[in-house]
Structure 1
Amino acid sequence: MTAMTEEIQKLSKRFLKMYPVKDIDLKLMMNNLSKLDYDDSMEYQEKLLRSTIHHPIVQKYPPTILYRQRFLKRLITEIEDINLEVIDSLYKAYTNLLSQENRNTENSGSISYCYKTYCLAPELTITLKETQNIISEGTTGMFTWQASHVLADWCQKEADSFSGKNVLELGAGLGLTGLTVIKACNPASYTFTDLHMSVLKTLKENILINLCNGSSPESTNEPSDGFSIPYKDTRVSVKRLDWTSDHVQSSCDIVLAADVVYDTEIIFPLVLILKEALGKSDGATAYVASTIRNQDTFNCFRNALVSNNVKVKSESHHAYQESPSQQKSFIIIMKLML
């Protein structure tokens, strides 16, 4: 693979996940472009367009129109600044975006949706419908949080530990961790659980996008808070679970949770539901990934685990930073058992 092809692929991956435009470094790409003759320069620019704005995924699941506008404006400006001719199709794509309505934004009450596609490995791509708002309709579950990225990456590296296992996720949100495990780790079953109906509805859509090519098989003509589909050798289910009043209905080998330790009011029911899930099967293990935002809140979680005889068998520490302009997060993944 040539250096120029690698740069285009790197740019494509960042564009698909809506990496901040201001943090995209185009210097090397512009340097490569400046060394090409006219015909090769035109072809290189076409490749850039095909790998971003005209990418097949973008045609079906686009980032926000504003993001695409900003990206194209930056790209065109960078090419002009090195005194190269910009291909007409780049200008055309930009003017089309300026003139059209925001067709990729769906409005449901106060929620504005977009799509982000995460290229996690050469053969592993996850597309999520999500919001850019930290809180939507009174829930934080419509946004993919830092610990989900860290836990998803950790699960890929530990794929053998999930093979053939029954996995339960608490506070599954929009599905990044679960979809990663399903597609990369071959579990026997995976059960997503969450509470908020808007989250469950969007989670179902994300499952269909990634596991059913966006189509809805007859088996999913059920409420968003309870459906099940097969995916290869894995039985995939979604269930509504209220930690304060519901119970875990079936046994599981592994429990996963990401960014669920953020409010002291929910820590006690969280620990009780964790203990109940772990008690359903001998040797069951939980992995809880927590972004450390407030040390007192995290200490409250630790104390609740101790008082309920849930053992912390080990923990690993991770740093996560999406881009240079975004704050670095520190995440702890705790291994829990009874």
Structure 2
Amino acid sequence: MHGLMMDYPLTIDRILEHANRIYGDRQIYTKLPNGSTHTYTYADLYRRAKRLASALRKRGIQIGDRLGTFGWNNYQHMELYYGIPGCGAVCHTLNIRLFAEQVAYIIEHAEDRIVFIDASLLKLFEPIAAQVSCVEQYVLYGVDSVPETTLPNVLLYEDLIAEGDDDYQWPVTDERTAMGMCYTSGTTGEPKGALYSHRSMYLHTIGMLQANAAAITSADMILPVVPQFHVMSWGIPFAAALAGAELIMPGPFLQPGPLADMVQDYKVTVVTGVPTIWMGVYQEVQKNPRDLSSIRALIVGGSAMPRSMIEAYEGKLGVNVVHAWGMTEMSPLGT
């Protein structure tokens, strides 16, 4: 005998539908390479992600196709997080800090059909493109026109968005279908890919909102310093949308000074990143004090933060440190 309660697939598009319906006016801020700030809402994210998904389907992208991303933490990367799975494809985030040969191997192994590239990273990506043959299209975002480049078959991201339809309907996808892919180099031999299903990421997102986890709510302003190419930014882009939390995306500004400024200026309540980031921020605010008192949870992971640094943040700055643990193969947070 089955229960009579509502039963629907746990797919990522439902998170964005919820954010648009309940928290459509909540803000997402992005620090752009030119120093300005881009501001829009979850309603804007919803509309553009749908158009992106629609355009990709029109261009022949099928369920299960892998599409790569090569970029910073910004609003376009957020749109890719939802638009790519929203057409049934797999969002394959590429680590911009790996050697060109490693990234080329990963792209070829994953058989990425399209790679989306942040224009500020174009020169970094060109040597990679010279070593791959599987990519059919390169999509460039962050510029209004195609710059001089050695990349073949370049399309502007905004032109792709313009091809999509506002009334696009998300496909009915099996929740066990892959939605994301990250490669880990923490193995013997070549990097290996971990595939995340819609269901696993949806459940991970719900877990992030629990009181004994990150306890993310609509009252939060989150600064995700952990890159979007590191295990999907620890799931923060999905958790923030489900909770209705606002976001300040740092773009390329990952230096201690700009990060401390963002915390102070946006009254950030939750930050995420590896220990080396927070060591640098701590040293920065000792030399040039900033008000970090808005932070209720400094979530650290990737490696162990020294106890002395935890005590410094909690004892001298009054910032609560939440030490997380996880693995690329776990979606990623475990505890």
TM-score category of the 2 structures, normalised to the smaller one: 0.3 to 0.5
TM-score for both structures, normalised by structure 1: 0.35
Higher relative contact order structure (alpha carbons within 8 Å, sequence separation ≥ 6): 2
- Give the structure with higher Rg (CA): 1
TM-score for both structures, normalised by structure 2: 0.35
